[in-house]
Structure 1
Amino acid sequence: MYSGLTAMKKKSVAVVIVSNGPGELTTWVNPVINELNKINKALCDDDKINFTLRLVLVPCPNATGKEYLVANSWNKFELITKSKSFWKLLIKPHSFANWPKKGVVIFLGGDQLWSILLAKRLGYLNITYAEWISRWPQWTNEIAAMNLKVKKLIPKKYQYKCQIIGDLMADIKLGSEISLKNTEKNYIALLPGSKKAKLSVGVPFFLEIADHIAEENQNINFIIPIAPTTDKSEFLFFQSERNPIAKYYSSKIKTIKKIKDSCFDSVIETSKNTKIYLIEKYPCYEILKECDLAITTVGANTAELAAIALPMLVVLPTQHLNKMNAWDGIFGLIGKISFINKFITFAIKYFYFKKKKFFAWPNIKAKRMIIPERIGNISPVKIAREVLFLIKNKNKLKSISDSLQKERGNKGAAEKLASMIVNAIKKL
């Protein structure tokens, strides 16, 4: 299980980072470990702290399975444990490596409880980065909060543990060399989903949205960031007759071609000659940041788009809920039984959707409608009309972007969190 750097000698303190998905690795973990090493390098030789960096990946439904490869490619960790090994690590940590007597466990993704359990098991201090809420303040040693709202949600008797450090995602390096604004065109990002259940609806639905928009406005370019869990072949599959939902939509893919000497990797051309550019790099915030608007389905991607203050329109067509055999997991299995399928569809439509107030993460956390959500029996043409209205209404887009920005924290969080870790180590 050892990977990355191999320690030349035994270190006295372990810095153990707990994380889960590719987004958290890129936007939270990497900036923090870079700041840790920067602080240590800046100290004089006599003051340098001796620590090893270890990464523990934890089980998460939003993980892609490629997190280990991503982290290992950085060559910055003495030890990386895969998510499937987490429970074994918790029970028998010494079966993976020798653990120093002193250390700090930092939560940077997944479930906050996992980092607390691991810290207790190893006898280490625990620091939790709380983006929206600190769930177990009584059991953690220190809390690094994104903003004042997070601190206020902590019971008063535990607020002394909390420091407001800002927003780790505000420190995202966007890559200033990327610019889409060298033409008069607008750019719209399409995010139809990353899992089969969402793609089965999202691919034909979003293709038709693009065709309707292009028919009315030729001054718009479309891009799709391809999630790590999918590939171009799935776009072809879900727009074909092999996907039973595709028959409800007329838009099809005519070709997918590679592109050279471009920030895009490929281009889809629909049967109605609409071009949609594909980006395989993940994450691609530097390109998304340049877009005017994103059309997305519900999910964690709404939080990532909010972090770069990109205005978005969130759509969730509910007219295909009866096609449960296209879904993943237990719903896909039991949905094949006709009467159960009808019962689940009825329950979701008339209880879950009516009871749930917000579906997009920015709206859920702000407890108000910051970004528009269109949930229900919606059509691509209706969404296309709203998108065309938003693209023309620059003040509305700016208002959404400003509201998203206000809900986030300030920059400089990675440096402050690294300082908290270093100070905790010095006290050990």
Structure 2
Amino acid sequence: MKEASLVVVFISNGPGELATWVKPLAEKLHTKLLMQPKAKYSPVSLRLVLVPCPNATGNETKAARKWGDFEQITPPTNFWKLLLCPQKYGIWPNKGLVVFLGGDQFWSVLLSARLGYRHLTYAEWVARWPQWNDKIAAMSTKVMKRLPKRYRSRCTVVGDLMADLNNHAKEEQPLSKGTWVALMPGSKKAKLSVGVPFFLEVADILSTIIPECNFLLPIAPTTNIIEIQKFVSSNNPIASQYNTSIKTIAPQDKSNNLRKLITKQGTEIYLHEDPPAHNPLSQCHLALTTVGANTAELGALAVPMIVIVPTQHLYVMQAWDGVLGLIGRIPGLRRCIGLLISIWRMRKKGFLAWPNISAGRTIVPERVGIITPKEIATEAAQWLQSPERLKGQKEDLQNLRGKPGAVEAMSQEVIKLLPKSLIKL
């Protein structure tokens, strides 16, 4: 492969950002610029640098490699080494662009300064270092208004990158007819250890209330079905507190090419093992989900949801964001501190789901507390039996996201910062 004379570097962190920001933009740029590694003789290559983040699972590098979009991927464990000695991690041309797409914005500031590259930040809520950005691509006008006036000329509102998810989802095959419920227990071990047994028991109960229900379990890119099985086995102490287990994993169903997880009660749950699952998710009538990027993704797809945080297992819920998440992982004190942090977070009267945070009001129900699978199954049945309620929540989610086109607009901002002499459009 011919050595590229220009590098575009994406900086990101967790599974949510990779699936909903990084992948769509990477695919768009490959279409527009014919970059390496897909185009072997292109003067432009696309690379991914993953940064340290408490919300990461550790499997992001493996997930991103499957896409084949990046000439080089630097795992978060090598980030500081890359800063200190870039030449040990490949040849870095004199010209390039660093694009922030998740994590702490300061990491992209450091890397762009170290490499001597131009710098573009996608700002969802706030641009924290405008003085060190060549350009800021904002999700909304609110981001621009928060900037000091002297930096607003550097900012362009491109829109919400997730608003394009529904358009991409429509390109694939439809699910079979019927009522579909998505089960989204999370992507991190702390959430999965609670979510998998909890959600499987919900499915068992809900299938007795509404026998015609179909269930879909999208497997996150940072886990797999083998790990899912472990979370409902004796390897997970929490599993014993729930009346469910996995009987078998059935071969692919001819109607949709999806394997099935069958519980000991006989509930059939279709497995989507090729993330992202935007197409099948967009067709679901309701989703049951944990907090996190799932709520933003479902909101972008306008899928009605119930957000669930069972607090009876607080001592394992160390998957909080930012500094709190880091403190909750201190060895030796992990259990005690994790419990105290989680209790404190639960008592804060703030929203946990992205749609509610964004709207500043309740769009989707958040069920936080000592809750049981039976309670959630009963509530889910009530929603499914009330089409007007589902329609109302769906419309609220659609209105919240805004118009599609942000990925296209973001790609244009990237191209504007590249040397015109090195690219052919």
Deviation at 1:74, TM superposition (A): 4.7
Deviation readout 1:376-407 (Å, 9 max, x if unpaired): 11121111111111112222222222222233
> Judging changes above 3 Å, is the alpha-carbon distance between structure 1 residues 205 and 77 closer, same or farther for their aligned structure 2 residues?
closer
- In the alignment, the residues of structure 1 paired with residue 316 and residue 19 of structure 2 have an alpha-carbon distance, to the nearest angstrom, of 35
Deviation at 1:372, TM superposition (A): 0.6
SS of residue matched to 2:412: helix
Q: Which residue of 2 aligns with 1:137?
A: 130
1:374 has 2:367 as partner: yes
Structure of greater Rg: 1
8 Å contact from structure 1 (residues 132, 365) kept in 2: no
SS of residue matched to 2:73: strand
Residue type of the alignment partner of 2:149: K
- In the alignment, the residues of structure 2 paired with residue 88 and residue 27 of structure 1 have an alpha-carbon distance, to the nearest angstrom, of 27
TM-score, length of structure 1 as denominator length = 0.84
SS of residue matched to 1:187: strand
1:267 has 2:260 as partner: yes
SS of residue matched to 2:309: strand
Q: Which residue of 2 aligns with 1:155?
A: 148
1:101 has 2:120 as partner: no
8 Å contact from structure 2 (residues 289, 305) kept in 1: yes
- Written as runs of structure 1 = structure 2, the 5 A alignment for 1:320-335 is 320-321=313-314, 330=329, 333-334=332-333
Which of the residues 215, 237, 245 maps onto 1:244? 237
Q: Which residue of 1 aligns with 2:38?
A: none
Q: Which residue of 2 aligns with 1:294?
A: 287
1:201 has 2:194 as partner: yes
Deviation readout 1:166-194 (Å, 9 max, x if unpaired): 222233321533212x42x2100011223
Residue type of the alignment partner of 2:169: L
Q: Which residue of 2 aligns with 1:128?
A: 121
8 Å contact from structure 2 (residues 253, 260) kept in 1: no
SS of residue matched to 2:313: coil
- In the alignment, the residues of structure 2 paired with residue 70 and residue 244 of structure 1 have an alpha-carbon distance, to the nearest angstrom, of 28
SS of residue matched to 2:260: strand
Deviation at 1:9, TM superposition (A): 4.9
Residue type of the alignment partner of 1:177: E
Deviation at 1:419, TM superposition (A): 1.8
Q: Which residue of 1 aligns with 2:172?
A: 177
Q: Which residue of 1 aligns with 2:411?
A: 418
Q: How many residues align?
A: 406
TM-score, length of structure 2 as denominator length = 0.85
Q: Which residue of 1 aligns with 2:274?
A: 281
SS of residue matched to 1:211: helix
8 Å contact from structure 1 (residues 146, 409) kept in 2: no
Q: Which residue of 2 aligns with 1:56?
A: 49
8 Å contact from structure 1 (residues 324, 331) kept in 2: no
Residue type of the alignment partner of 1:330: R
Residue type of the alignment partner of 2:400: E
- In the alignment, the residues of structure 1 paired with residue 82 and residue 207 of structure 2 have an alpha-carbon distance, to the nearest angstrom, of 52
Q: Which residue of 1 aligns with 2:213?
A: 220
Which deviates more, 204-213 or 253-262?
Answer: 253-262
SS of residue matched to 2:291: coil
Q: Equivalent pairs: percent with the same residue?
A: 48
- In the alignment, the residues of structure 2 paired with residue 80 and residue 344 of structure 1 have an alpha-carbon distance, to the nearest angstrom, of 32
Deviation at 1:85, TM superposition (A): 1.6
- In the alignment, the residues of structure 1 paired with residue 262 and residue 14 of structure 2 have an alpha-carbon distance, to the nearest angstrom, of 31
Residue type of the alignment partner of 2:207: A
Which deviates more, 117-126 or 416-425?
Answer: 416-425
> Judging changes above 3 Å, is the alpha-carbon distance between structure 1 residues 188 and 242 closer, same or farther for their aligned structure 2 residues?
same
8 Å contact from structure 2 (residues 112, 118) kept in 1: yes
Deviation at 1:129, TM superposition (A): 1.0
Which of the residues 24, 41, 51 maps onto 1:31? 24
> Judging changes above 3 Å, is the alpha-carbon distance between structure 1 residues 331 and 178 closer, same or farther for their aligned structure 2 residues?
farther
Q: Which residue of 1 aligns with 2:309?
A: 316
- In the alignment, the residues of structure 2 paired with residue 229 and residue 75 of structure 1 have an alpha-carbon distance, to the nearest angstrom, of 16
CA RMSD of aligned residues (A): 3.0
8 Å contact from structure 1 (residues 171, 414) kept in 2: yes
- In the alignment, the residues of structure 2 paired with residue 283 and residue 190 of structure 1 have an alpha-carbon distance, to the nearest angstrom, of 14
Deviation readout 1:258-310 (Å, 9 max, x if unpaired): 22434353222223322222221111111111101100111222122122121
- In the alignment, the residues of structure 1 paired with residue 217 and residue 270 of structure 2 have an alpha-carbon distance, to the nearest angstrom, of 6
> Judging changes above 3 Å, is the alpha-carbon distance between structure 1 residues 306 and 153 closer, same or farther for their aligned structure 2 residues?
farther
> Judging changes above 3 Å, is the alpha-carbon distance between structure 1 residues 95 and 273 closer, same or farther for their aligned structure 2 residues?
closer
> Judging changes above 3 Å, is the alpha-carbon distance between structure 1 residues 130 and 252 closer, same or farther for their aligned structure 2 residues?
same
Residue type of the alignment partner of 1:176: E
SS of residue matched to 2:98: strand
Deviation readout 1:23-81 (Å, 9 max, x if unpaired): 4344333433443344447xxxxxxx953333322223343444444544555544432
Q: Which residue of 2 aligns with 1:46?
A: none
Gaps of 5+ in 1: 1-5, 42-48
- In the alignment, the residues of structure 2 paired with residue 186 and residue 10 of structure 1 have an alpha-carbon distance, to the nearest angstrom, of 50
SS of residue matched to 1:286: helix
- In the alignment, the residues of structure 1 paired with residue 267 and residue 104 of structure 2 have an alpha-carbon distance, to the nearest angstrom, of 41
Gaps of 5+ in 2: 35-41
- In the alignment, the residues of structure 2 paired with residue 289 and residue 377 of structure 1 have an alpha-carbon distance, to the nearest angstrom, of 30
Residue type of the alignment partner of 2:172: E
1:168 has 2:167 as partner: no
SS of residue matched to 2:173: coil
> Judging changes above 3 Å, is the alpha-carbon distance between structure 1 residues 209 and 19 closer, same or farther for their aligned structure 2 residues?
same
- In the alignment, the residues of structure 2 paired with residue 102 and residue 236 of structure 1 have an alpha-carbon distance, to the nearest angstrom, of 47
> Judging changes above 3 Å, is the alpha-carbon distance between structure 1 residues 408 and 152 closer, same or farther for their aligned structure 2 residues?
farther
Deviation at 1:22, TM superposition (A): 4.3
- In the alignment, the residues of structure 2 paired with residue 419 and residue 216 of structure 1 have an alpha-carbon distance, to the nearest angstrom, of 50
> Judging changes above 3 Å, is the alpha-carbon distance between structure 1 residues 38 and 295 closer, same or farther for their aligned structure 2 residues?
closer
Which of the residues 355, 358, 369 maps onto 1:362? 355
Which of the residues 79, 95, 109 maps onto 1:116? 109
